[in-house]
A and B are shown apart, each in its own frame.
Chain A
Amino acid sequence: MGFIQHHLLNIICYLPLAGALLIIFGIRKENTKAIKAVATVVAGLDFLASIPLWFLYRPDGPEFQFVVRGEWIPKVGVQYYFGVDGFAVLLILLTTLLTFISIYSSFTAITHREKEYYVFLLLLSTGMMGVFMSLDFVLFYVFWEVMLVPMYFLIGVWGGPRKLYAAIKFFLYTLVGSVLMLVGILALYFYNSTGLEAIGLPGLGNAATFEIPKLYEIAPHIPPELQFWIFLAFFVGFAIKVPMWPFHTWLPDAHVEAPTAGSVILAGVLLKMGTYGFVRFSLPLLPDATMKAVAWVGPLAIIAIIYGALVAMAQKDMKKLVAYSSVSHMGFVMLGMFALNAPGLRGAILQMINHGVSTGALFLLVGIVYERRHNRLIAEYGGIAKVMPLYAMFFMVMTMSSIGLPTLNGFIGEFTILIGAFNHSWVWALFAATGIVLGAAYMLWMYQRVFFGELTNEKNKDLKDLNRREQWTLIPLIILAFWIGLYPKPFFRIMEPTVTRVLERVGAAAPDRPETPAALRAVSEHHEEPAAEPAEASSETE
């Protein structure tokens, strides 16, 4: 137990790295079978290693658990500091699962330079894990940027026709955001210790530190003006990652050009890093600025929801459609989060997981048919439910999950977000609901055009249905979709401490603004157990 408590996070984070090194130095590049086997086994083990987090994390325990801590660069207060709360546990589990699935799904899709491919996927996994575990800002930033490199190569080497453009656009866009975030981090750091004298800000005189839990404590002291600038710096970094309108333009390019596994990871995990950043840093560290930002982040999220949906509707390419649907779905997450009440935040966190599951699965599904036909245009298909019945069924489930049909995960997330949005303002809820309707429209319309009707295209006549491996890549995601849809309580339970603490920190910052904290408190009391509610509702609809 002690050993696990102290080393579990290290193991989860560095196991993929070890696997990558083993492949680099231990296996010749011609031996693709061994490479695939090692990569799959390592990713599988990593997923298994992350499962104890789910069972051993105690919601009533300290905020961050499984802490690994040591000096790294003591002279400037940088630590090697890992730790997770329930929110991070959820994202880590999602990451290990999706990594395993994307490796497992690539066996036939990737036919050249396999060695490098699996090495990059494993390195990417280590980077992502580090982001969700780091509790030191410098450490966090290191992982945040490390991750970009393997993703760049995944898009650039194994991507579609415009891969070079898409890869560098992805890299530069996110890099610009993250370097600005770095400036924000530094401002926070100096404010906590020596201050920024030249611009008239005396420091608090604390010991220099990048430690996030410590920085949570200084949040109430940060003057609003400084908060605003830091918030802005963080906002650029995270909003590009989410991506929020109008920073989303890298996303369709990256998604469309990336290989299937790349898209799965990109949609499933990388986009979550933006919203993770908001929940972990922007909200609790800069509560004052957050309160003020609601006025403009909310509308931006609404624009993303509606705009993403409308653009998705106009797409001719299936993958592009799913990519734009991500813009819309992540808009929901942002909207729920910036409702700044308990249901909104719960819904936002759950919807992050949901989006990883359903959009990940949709990218896999599109990838499967692309592998057979090398074509993703909706117009090329039609009536393929006749030749690929199993595929049609899987696709149907994930479509429903994406549009929020009760009994499936999407419903719970969207419903909870709607409650949160409504508590904030009915206008928000109105727009969000419109977004849901539009979402149903574009997804169902695509489904209809691809699967129903006459089988007109000759080339589709002998499409093979899903093979065993393909089924197994999808089944875990389907199970998860139903699980969250039918019994989301454990998910809400594990994230609850995060939700409470974040809202406390946001609320505590504004004692002179009576209306907001009071409203917050009222809301969080009112919805003590929103988890059970939608779940029951959905089972009844069944």
Chain B
Amino acid sequence: MTLEQFVPFVPEIALAVAALAVLLAGIPMGRKAPRALALLSVAAMAVSAILVVLYATPSAGPEVILGGMLSVDGFGVFFKLLFLLAGAITLLMGVGYVVRAGYGYGEFASLVLFATVGMMVMASGANLASLYVGLELMALSVYILVGYFKLEVKSNEGAVKYFVLGALSSAILLYGISLVYGGLGTLELGAIRDALAAGSPSGRVVGLGIVLVSFGMLFKVAAVPFHVWTPDAYEGAPTPITAFISVAPKAAAFAMFLRLFLGAFRPAIGQWHGVLWVAAAATMIYGNLAALTQDNVKRMLAYSSIAHAGYALLGIVAANAMGAWSLLLYMLIYTFMNLGAFGFVALLESRGYAGELVTDYAGLAKRAPAAAAGMLILMLALAGIPPTGGFMGKLYVFSAAVQAGYVWLVVIAVIMSAVSLYYYFRIVVQMYLHDGDGSELAALVRDRWLEIGIAACVVVVLILGVWPAPALGWAQAGLAALGF
């Protein structure tokens, strides 16, 4: 192992150093100069992104470095840039929010940076051990972030639930990993794949291991029946953090999911595709139906993000090249849709937990036409109505599943996405079709940075809907890493 091998890992190292620096700088600056600190953190993310492009982009095919721990490939680049972008938007959207709530910003920024480092490792891990380490770094940072508003009961409750169930699922995952290791004698994804393709001697143990790993991953992406932590954690967390955990860690979990199941475990597809088929169907059905009855917007969006995990799972169930790249594309689009949507919730929260009920949106179109129009576009996108990115995302995952012959699963998916329109439009109905009586209206917060963040999300969602070709190219560049 030479020192040169560390070069592609420089973005993560730099970001980790920045996270420590921000943690220290946060002690004096966290309350006094939160905006400067936010800019500093965002700058660190930008630097890291530039380093990713410069040093972590593979010159030829995928390349494994650092003793088989990390893989340098287009897949990793795609996700790393996505996480950095999502993290930066979260940091910008969060400043005003955290300050208004009366908390310091230093640890907040530092933890988001640490979580991003963890996710970057998850996106490029080539070894079960490194993937697990990345996952835990991400997860521990996020547990704390969910409970960041330490004086709010809901925030605490969400964090504890998330932590307990998260720890349990990590244990299941780890047990699965140990079984796979016991059966195959290796933790390297490439070696696992070769062993499975050759037909392993201890098939049952490995099979059980793979299924347990899939349970762990299903928990991380919040799929039914491992979703119970989601509504509470999402509702309790500070809204910018809800926005963050609903997109970045989920995308990271899907990145790991892809690396494991379409990369390493694909030869053993018979062992796991039934489990994922059922999970995908159950997730889509339950997520959408449960969202129908929610009056709290954050909970509704929590169930909606469960449902979206279900659609995304179609890409893995399909287990073909299109399934893989469509899932990458879906994660890209989903990130912007959900960041924007939760951003709006944050925008409406004047103080405490106001602005969370559906009825708080009544008459918004009249008082804030631009904000309402933006929210309308995001709701349409989440429901998958063109010409938004949401439609393009769904189109390709559904296509992949049809190509793989899972037509009935797609029928479930399309019907459920029609159902989803109903609850997304409950918000639209309130904004556009109700006047509101003036008293119960939540005040719109003036928060430039938040508004810019949301506007950026809306614009990106529209662009991805009208002109998805370039993004599709980026997603396809990630295929080689999975062996397609």
Decide whether A and B are members of one complex: yes
- Checking A116, A157, A198 against B405 with a beta-carbon cut-off of 8 angstroms, the contacting residue is A198
Task: Say yes or no: A168 contacts B472, CB within 8 Å.
Answer: no
Given A145-B385, A186-B402, A198-B406, A153 contacting B395 (CB threshold 8 A): no
In the complex, what distance in Å separates the CA atom of A73 from the CA atom of B471?
10
In the complex, what distance in Å separates the CA atom of A167 from the CA atom of B434?
14
Q: Note all chain A residues with C-beta closer than 8 A to B155.
A: none
Q: Note all chain B residues with C-beta closer than 8 A to A194.
A: 403
Task: Say yes or no: B415 contacts A145, CB within 8 Å.
Answer: no
- Residue of A72, A179, A196 ringed by the most chain B CB atoms within 10 A: A179
Q: How far is the CB of A169 from chain B (nearest CB, A)?
A: 10
Task: Say yes or no: A187 contacts B407, CB within 8 Å.
Answer: yes
Mask, A189-207, CB within 8 Å of B = 1, is 1100010111100000000
Q: Note all chain B residues with C-beta closer than 8 A to A71.
A: 469
Q: How far is the CB of A161 from chain B (nearest CB, A)?
A: 13
Task: Say yes or no: A73 contacts B469, CB within 8 Å.
Answer: yes
- Checking A142, A157, A196 against B432 with a beta-carbon cut-off of 8 angstroms, the contacting residue is A157
Given A149-B385, A172-B422, A186 contacting B469 (CB threshold 8 A): no
Task: Say yes or no: A182 contacts B403, CB within 8 Å.
Answer: no
Task: Say yes or no: A186 contacts B415, CB within 8 Å.
Answer: no
B410 within 8 A of A: yes
A446 within 8 A of B: no
B425 within 8 A of A: yes
Given A148-B385, A149-B380, A196 contacting B405 (CB threshold 8 A): yes
In the complex, what distance in Å separates the CA atom of A130 from the CA atom of B380?
19
Given A75-B476, A138-B395, A183-B407, A146 contacting B469 (CB threshold 8 A): no
B468 within 8 A of A: yes
- Checking A168, A176, A190 against B425 with a beta-carbon cut-off of 8 angstroms, the contacting residue is A168
Task: Say yes or no: A179 contacts B418, CB within 8 Å.
Answer: yes
Which residue on A lies nearest to B401, using beta carbons? A186
Given A142-B391, A172-B422, A194-B403, A183 contacting B432 (CB threshold 8 A): no
Task: Say yes or no: A182 contacts B405, CB within 8 Å.
Answer: no
Main secondary structure of the interface of A (DSSP, over half): helix
Task: Say yes or no: A199 contacts B405, CB within 8 Å.
Answer: yes
Q: Note all chain B residues with C-beta closer than 8 A to A164.
A: 429, 433
Which residue on A lies nearest to B425, using beta carbons? A168
Mask, A57-78, CB within 8 Å of B = 1, is 0000000000000011111100
Task: Say yes or no: B417 contacts A198, CB within 8 Å.
Answer: no
- Checking A148, A149, A168, A186 against B398 with a beta-carbon cut-off of 8 angstroms, the contacting residue is A186
Task: Say yes or no: B410 contacts A156, CB within 8 Å.
Answer: no
Mask, B370-411, CB within 8 Å of A = 1, is 000000000010000111000100011011001111110011
Contacts of B34-90 to chain A: CB distance below 8 A: none
Task: Say yes or no: A182 contacts B414, CB within 8 Å.
Answer: yes
Q: Note all chain A residues with C-beta closer than 8 A to B441.
A: none
B421 within 8 A of A: yes
A110 within 8 A of B: no
In the complex, what distance in Å separates the CA atom of A163 from the CA atom of B432?
13
Task: Say yes or no: A179 contacts B415, CB within 8 Å.
Answer: yes
- Checking B411, B417, B472 against A75 with a beta-carbon cut-off of 8 angstroms, the contacting residue is B472
B182 within 8 A of A: no
In the complex, what distance in Å separates the CA atom of A183 from the CA atom of B403?
11
Q: How far is the CB of B322 from chain A (nearest CB, A)?
A: 8
- Checking B414, B418, B433 against A157 with a beta-carbon cut-off of 8 angstroms, the contacting residue is B433
Which residue on A lies nearest to B469, using beta carbons? A73
Q: How far is the CB of A151 from chain B (nearest CB, A)?
A: 12
Q: Note all chain A residues with C-beta closer than 8 A to B398.
A: 182-183, 186
Q: Note all chain B residues with C-beta closer than 8 A to A197.
A: 405
Q: How far is the CB of A228 from chain B (nearest CB, A)?
A: 13
Task: Say yes or no: B411 contacts A180, CB within 8 Å.
Answer: yes
A-B contact pairs, 30 of them (CB 8 A): A73-B469, A73-B472, A74-B469, A76-B396, A76-B472, A142-B386, A145-B386, A145-B391, A146-B387, A148-B385, A152-B425, A164-B429, A164-B433, A167-B433, A171-B421, A172-B422, A176-B418, A179-B415, A180-B411, A180-B414, A183-B402, A186-B402, A187-B407, A190-B399, A194-B403, A196-B407, A198-B404, A198-B405, A198-B406, A199-B405
Binding site for A on B (CB under 8 A): 365, 380, 385-387, 391, 395-396, 398-399, 402-407, 410-411, 414-415, 417-419, 421-422, 425, 429, 432-433, 468-469, 472-473, 476
**A-B CB proximity, top 8 nearest:** A198-B405, A179-B414, A142-B386, A186-B402, A175-B418, A199-B405, A176-B418, A73-B469
Supplied contacts A183-B410, A186-B403, 17 more A-B pairs, CB within 8 Å: A73-B472, A76-B396, A142-B391, A145-B385, A148-B385, A149-B380, A153-B432, A168-B429, A176-B418, A179-B415, A180-B411, A180-B414, A183-B402, A183-B407, A183-B411, A189-B399, A199-B407
Binding site for B on A (CB under 8 A): 71-76, 116, 138, 141-142, 145-146, 148-149, 152-153, 156-157, 163-164, 167-168, 171-172, 175-176, 179-180, 182-183, 186-187, 189-190, 194, 196-199
